[in-house]
Amino acid sequence: AQSVTQLGSHVSVSEGALVLLRCNYSSSVPPYLFWYVQYPNQGLQLLLKYTTGATLVKGINGFEAEFKKSETSFHLTKPSAHMSDAAEYFCAVSDVLYGNNRLAFGKGNQVVVIP
Partner 1 sequence: GAGVSQSPSNKVTEKGKDVELRCDPISGHTALYWYRQSLGQGLEFLIYFQGNSAPDKSGLPSDRFSAERTGGSVSTLTIQRTQQEDSAVYLCASSPSGRVTDTQYFGPGTRLTVL
Where on the chain is the footprint of partner 1 (CB under 8 A)?
Answer: 32, 34, 36, 41-46, 49, 51-52, 90, 92, 94-96, 98-108
Instruction: Write down the least CB distance from residue 19 to partner 1, Å.
Output: 21
C-alpha span between 25 and 42 (Å, rounded)? 26
- The CA-atom distances, in angstroms, between 57 and each of 8, 91, 97, 98, 113 are 23, 14, 24, 26, 23
Residue 76 or 92: the one with the smaller Cβ distance to partner 1 is 92
Residue 8 or 98: the one with the smaller Cβ distance to partner 1 is 98
Instruction: Give the angle 55-19-49 at the CA atoms, nearest 5°.
Output: 30
Residue 29 or 56: the one with the smaller Cβ distance to partner 1 is 29
